[in-house]
Amino acid sequence: MNKFTYLHNELELLKQDNLLRRCVCIDSAQGPTVRMPDGSEKVLFCSNNYLNLANDTRVKQAAIETIEKYGLGSAASRLICGTMRPHEELETAFAKFLKKESALYFPSGWCANQALLTTLPQKGDLVLIDRCDHASIIDAVKSSDADFHTYRRNQSEQLEKYLTDGKYKNRFIVTESVFSMDGDIAHLAELVELKNKYNATLIIDEAHSLGCFGKNGAGLCEQEGLLEQIDIIVVPLGKAIATTGGIIAGPKAVKDYLINRARPFIYTTAPSPVVAAAAMKAVEIIQTEPDRRKRLQDNAAYLRNTFTEMGLDIGNSTTQIIPVIIGDSARAMSLSKKLFEAGYFLSAIRPPTVPSGTARLRVSAQAHHTQEQLKGLCETLKSLL
């Protein structure tokens, strides 16, 4: 008997339920359009390359110059000999950008959340997470020794009830600022008020916000005038920054503690210095070119308004992430396939990424999408519904 028969059986069940996933290869740089291995071109509407920095000439040049000076790999963990000047320069830049005392760079956003949320909250502590938080937050909190509860952001009384429980030593509130599958936002001012009232630590993940919001592009916290009131900010760098890695910015004591106690920091090879340099150049561009944010938000507003006029369900999206909620997974898959054939690349998002019965097309705008591309998507989608 094949010892992996059970895997084949489970994969077959996923296929029958229209939940089987496969990777789709792209044979070009990421941009508003991409080339597929068969030579065809698709307009890309499912990427997190919101500000189109993934193929920016200046970002690429920063990487080229760094690889000439430092090579490609860091060759060790940060504490052995893997910390290199570009790592420290990026941390200094982010601490200043986010108005925090210090910052620490990790190989991925997942790694950053895992390090932070399995190390700071400890036995006898309480962690409260939004029920729509990213899997990296959920899995990290489940792995910690602290107790945790989820809350609904439209029911602040539920969150406050948890905070009033006096048996806990420390309390943490953890949320994304922009929710990755719904495109709506956290009630940041309310969370700041509650964390002050109950002396809780507020941690905000700005993955889909940094670069896209704020006068200087520092995210939704900056846009709402709350940047300096947030205790710790986590920034995965794979979205608007268009590189890889994750930043944790906050008090120096937090950085020092993570360096000494966070297993995902201590026991993993440091990120490439080349990527760190590229990320720093992207941050510089974000701060000096606010027009990218304006174009992104204009494009997003066009899509939201047009989809609404078409009678589509886009939930409560107010950002560049616009879910077109279909409901049935098979239908979402079918629409995704037909759009792809028509020249538009949109992935169907299905359970367990989203709740059962809410399968969707996750449309994400980019700053460099043209009006013709936006209009073409809307018209093609309308013809398929």
Which of the residues are catalytic? 180, 208, 239
Collapsing DSSP states into helix, strand and coil, what is residue 106? strand
Alpha-carbon span 359 to 249, nearest angstrom: 34
Query: Cα-flanking dihedrals φ and ψ of residue 233, to 5°?
Result: -120, 130
| Nearest residue to 51 (alpha-carbon basis) of 170, 200, 208 | 208
* Six-digit token string for 363: 């449309």
Alpha-carbon span 280 to 66, nearest angstrom: 11
The residues, any chain, with a CB within 8 Å of residue 140's CB and separated by 6 or more, are: 113, 114, 116, 117, 118
The residues, any chain, with a CB within 8 Å of residue 176's CB and separated by 6 or more, are: 130, 132, 133, 134, 137, 186, 204, 205, 206, 207, 208
Per DSSP, 78 falls in state: I
Residue with tokens 């049935």: 328
Q: What is the sign, positive or negative, of the torsion defined by CA atoms of 362, 340, 47, 129?
A: positive
Looking at 36-155, list the stretches that DSSP marks H as alpha helix, in order from N- to C-terminal side: 57-70, 85-97, 109-119, 135-143
Written as one string, the DSSP assignment of 143-190 is HSSSEEEEE-TT-HHHHHHHHT-TT-S-EEEEEESB-TTT--B--HHH
Angle at 282 between CA 293 and CA 176, to 5 degrees: 60
The residues, any chain, with a CB within 8 Å of residue 367's CB and separated by 6 or more, are: 50, 51, 52, 292, 293, 295, 296, 299
E strand or H helix that includes residue 285: helix 273-288
Is-contact 220 178, C-beta < 8 A? Answer: yes
